[in-house]
């Protein structure tokens, strides 16, 4: 009898201990840091990806975030958010919660919209960093990722900062689990897209060649709610303004193509491409694909602030134009672990892309737009 009673008490103790620790509640999380400060971790303010863009809470520009030098002013009556520098509006961005674009002080439009979840407004950090000269990184850490937003004078390597911030992230994570365990009920974001990327992350990159073909590829991406990166020649940038605006509005990534064998320097080609892109869609990019690349050409482009694509898989010699080609590509991609970048060249068509996206969807993988921190 005593043995049975002792066994019962042990079982009750184990049940109590297991129920008291929400060890699997959180899954992958996104920590946020501003300059040297790791911020509190919560579902309400956790960064997330949407339309290929990384979104951060607007609250990073308040409190310790004021050290970034960017001021934040929400206008509840007009449903707008103003970001500006040095207490002036001479360098500013205005986001309208009812529109899918932002406008700077020169009247340029950027087709990256604000997203409101609960009572928190989230903003695309890539656009803000570009307009105000900030830096940002996503670093893989224990339990998830660290989104680090900082001023350019924060001269510290990303991995070194993540290692130095580990104890603080451990503390914030334990507080996060504790708050989850004591919450009255679990809150669900209003947006349909999850804040945590699940499955394998696939970054498809292709050349924007013929307009009709690109339009069909965009239709296919829309049908599967997927994103990709389209790298454009100067000729495409000059002729396909409607498609460029559509890409930007749909959250597709846009890159530039330069040729190291050209007489003009690579940076000159890329800067000319950005001028054409700005004229067509009021956006600029730092993504670049360099044909006939040399180490010197890549170094030159990166020194000028461009992010050169270095794909994990170069499939440009194998057109993604059929179900068989899609199956082969999917096998190659899934044989790798973690995020995979793929260069398709100009050989993809709607049929092949659709077959690949269907397979990825069935496997719970996600095709995302290329970002500056992935390329």
pLDDT of residue 85: 80
Task: Look at the domain 201-367 and name its fold.
Answer: TIM Barrel (3.20.20)
- Note the pLDDT of residue 370: 84
Question: pLDDT value at position 70?
Answer: 86
The pLDDT value recorded for residue 341 is 95
Rounded Cα gap, residues 62 and 168, in angstroms: 20
For the stretch 250-289, pLDDT in tens is 889 999 999 999 999 999 999 999 999 989 988 889 899 9
Would you state the pLDDT for residue 90?
A: 56
Do 29-182 and 201-367 come out as alike in CATH topology? no
Distance CA 120, CA 39 (A): 15
Sites in the chain below the pLDDT cut of 50 = 1-25, 89, 184-198
User: What's the CA gap between 115 and 246, in Å, rounded?
Assistant: 19
Task: Check residue 64 and give its pLDDT.
Answer: 54
pTM equals 0.54
Three-class HEC string of the chain: CHHHHHHHHHHHHHHHHHHHCCCCCCCCEEEEEECCEECCCCHHHCCEEECCEEEEEHHHHCHHHHHHCEEEEEECCCCEEEEEECCCCCCEEEEECCCCCEEECCCCEECCCCEEECCEEEEEHHHHHHHHCCEEEEEEECCEEEEEEECCCCCCCHHHHHHHCHHHHHHHHHHHHHHHHHCCCCCCCCCCCCCCCCCCEEEEEEEECCHHHHHHHHHHHHHCCCCCEEEECHHHHHHCHHHHHHHHHHCCEEEEEEECCCCCCHHHHHHHHHHHHHHHHCCCCCEEEEECCCHHHHHHHHHCCCEECCCCEECCCCCCCCHHHHHHHHHHHHCCCCCEEEECCCCCCHHHHHHHHHHHHHCCCEECCCCCCCC
CATH topology of domain 29-182: Copper Amine Oxidase; Chain A, domain 1 (3.30.457)
Instruction: Summarize pLDDT for 39-98 with one digit per residue, the tens.
Output: 999 999 999 998 778 999 998 987 655 678 888 888 877 888 888 885 554 578 899 988
Q: What is the pLDDT of residue 39?
A: 92
Angstrom CA distances, 90 to 43, 69, 127, 132, stand at 34, 14, 17, 11
Among candidate residues 153, 123, 126, the one with its CA nearest the CA of residue 137: 126
Q: Domain boundaries in the chain?
A: 29-182, 201-367
């Amino acid at each position: 009898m005593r043995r049975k009673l002792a066994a019962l008490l042990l079982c009750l103790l184990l049940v109590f201990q297991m129920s008291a620790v929400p060890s699997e509640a959180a899954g992958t999380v996104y920590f946020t840091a501003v300059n040297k400060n790791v911020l509190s971790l919560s579902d309400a303010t956790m960064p997330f990806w949407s339309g290929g863009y990384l979104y951060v809470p607007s609250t990073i520009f308040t409190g310790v975030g004021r050290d970034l030098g960017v001021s934040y002013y929400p206008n509840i009556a007009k449903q707008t958010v103003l970001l500006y520098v040095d207490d002036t509006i001479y360098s500013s961005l205005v986001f309208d919660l009812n529109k899918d674009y932002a406008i700077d002080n020169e009247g340029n439009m950027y087709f990256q919209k604000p997203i409101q979840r609960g009572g928190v407004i989230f903003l695309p950090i890539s656009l803000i960093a570009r307009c105000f000269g900030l830096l940002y990184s996503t670093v893989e850490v224990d339990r998830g990722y660290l989104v680090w937003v900082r001023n350019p004078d924060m001269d510290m390597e990303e991995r070194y900062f993540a290692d130095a911030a580990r104890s603080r992230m451990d503390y914030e994570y334990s507080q996060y689990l504790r708050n989850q365990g004591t919450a009255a009920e679990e809150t669900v974001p209003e947006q349909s897209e999850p804040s945590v990327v699940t499955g394998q992350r696939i970054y498809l990159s292709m050349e924007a060649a013929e307009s009709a073909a690109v339009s069909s590829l965009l239709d296919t991406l829309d049908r599967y709610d997927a994103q990709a990166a389209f790298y454009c020649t100067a000729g495409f940038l000059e002729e396909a303004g409607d498609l460029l605006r559509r890409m930007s509005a749909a959250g597709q990534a846009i890159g530039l193509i330069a040729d190291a064998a050209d007489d003009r320097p690579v940076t000159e080609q890329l800067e000319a491409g950005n001028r054409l892109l700005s004229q067509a869609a009021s956006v600029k990019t730092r993504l670049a694909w360099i044909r006939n690349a040399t180490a010197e050409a890549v170094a030159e482009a990166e020194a000028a602030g461009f992010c050169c694509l270095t794909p994990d898989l170069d499939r440009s010699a194998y057109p993604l134009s059929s179900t068989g080609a899609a199956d082969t590509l999917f096998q190659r991609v899934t044989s790798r672990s973690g995020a995979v970048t793929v260069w398709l060249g100009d050989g993809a068509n709607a049929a092949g892309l659709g077959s690949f996206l269907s397979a990825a969807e069935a496997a719970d993988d996600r095709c995302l737009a290329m970002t500056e921190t992935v390329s």
